[in-house]
Chains A and B, each alone.
Chain A
Amino acid sequence: MSQLTADGRRAVSFILNGKAETAFAEPRMLLSDFLRQVMGHTELHVSCEHGVCGACTIQIDGRPARSCLAFAVQVEGQRVDTVQSLAGPQGGLNDIQLAFRKHHGLQCGYCTPGILMSVSAFLKVNPDPGEQEVREMLSGHLCRCTGYVGMVRAVLEVAKGRLTREASQSA
């Protein structure tokens, strides 16, 4: 058992986008604030701060998570990925990001980092989703400008593209 007192800042060691990091946080610091304000990762966007809008969605140990509903001290020893983790080694956009651009899956882009992290986690557990499943997954996000039609198309195209590539590789 470990106990951290309220006013003390403690070291949190974790893997952020593939890189080992250690930084300090007091227990009450939300993971979203920690990543933005302490780690400088402002690609993570914060909106409602009570788990409804989905803007701050990231991945913890590969699973989607609202970073406003977790505390920084909880990710000790865990893997945290923001939208930056999607970039390839040369820093280019990945297939999900390219498909979102192609299908107008974003407009102002504020909700996009969270949605991309959901989609990336979703396709790992459901590589061949139907449209209804994609819509249900996206229901965990609020987008107030571009709408969801382009996003649905993008996700379905990425899934199909990945399955086709896999089939041709194993053939």
Chain B
Amino acid sequence: MAGISLRKVRKSFGAVTVVHDIDLEIADKEFIILVGPSGCGKSTTLRMIAGLEEVTSGDLIIGDTIVNDVPSKDRDIAMVFQNYALYPHMTVYKNMAFGLELRRSPREVIDKKVHEAAEILDIEHLLNRRPKALSGGQRQRVALGRAMVRSPAVFLLDEPLSNLDAKLRSAMRSQITKLHRRLDATFIYVTHDQVEAMTMADRIVVMNDGCIQQVDTPQMLYDNPVNMFVAGFIGAPQMNFLDVTIRKANGAAVAEFAGQPLPLPAKLGERIAGEYEGRTCVLGLRPENFHERTPADVDPALTAPMPVDVELAEPMGPEVHLNAMLGGHAIVAKVSPRCRATHGDRLTLTADLTAAHLFDKQTEQALVA
């Protein structure tokens, strides 16, 4: 069993606290991803779990044991670093076998484990080569293999794909996901790339300023962000935020934007009707909630026409990202590749408000239905 619990874990460097009393439960064999902008404390949290940083206060529990004072080597974990940290003078085989040799594992066991890991990672042909000859992706697989041969209960991966090009990163993403299924171990993965987080994780931990913002499955995070930070961080391009005023029209709450009433889903309207009436809130609309024309599967009563001034059209292949101005707000809309709008064009997009999010302007917390 290798469930991990962080209870009120804090990390300070002198007077500066970089991780603020975080609580987190990681289930055994779970693939959990810590995501957040640079400096949010995700790597520090990982390094505390690894035993590379001391915990200032709180309890770090692996299995049933508090491991605050347990040395890294005794925690039954393996870590894969962003820069791979391979020994340049050793062959791939020796790099992978090194940890086991330090533990004085029998030669046959080392050989078997190295070859097994190499086979899984498809690097058997590299075993007698030195890292110098390997590409980034191959080095990354060696680093993974080095972690694998130790058969740890927990794998810690600190931005392992950051140094790879986009194509290789995509390939390695799926390889790591398959590896997790195959190894049946707990994976804790740190990244600032939300695409990695969304595609690989069982659950995502979104961090900012040393605090956990939200912990949930990727889809739940996307659909139900608890605050503006999570809403803005998860999703690419990020969610559009519009300042709106809550009004009542025909007995239902509407969000007034630039003098135009925008209908809100009934449940959301009921939740905010009394408390927020007349107050300014932030309306969150994802880029895919803007359309050139109303889709057939959307209730027309929950749509609103929005005239926008196109500033830039970015063709992405399957879609076009329109960077436009809407009532003084810069927005991004994902429209179909057939859209021929260019800089300076004015067109009217249909906003689908069924998936609209509302946030308190002051607290930035979501106003959940």
- A, B from the same assembly: no
Residues of B bordering A, CB below 8 Å = none
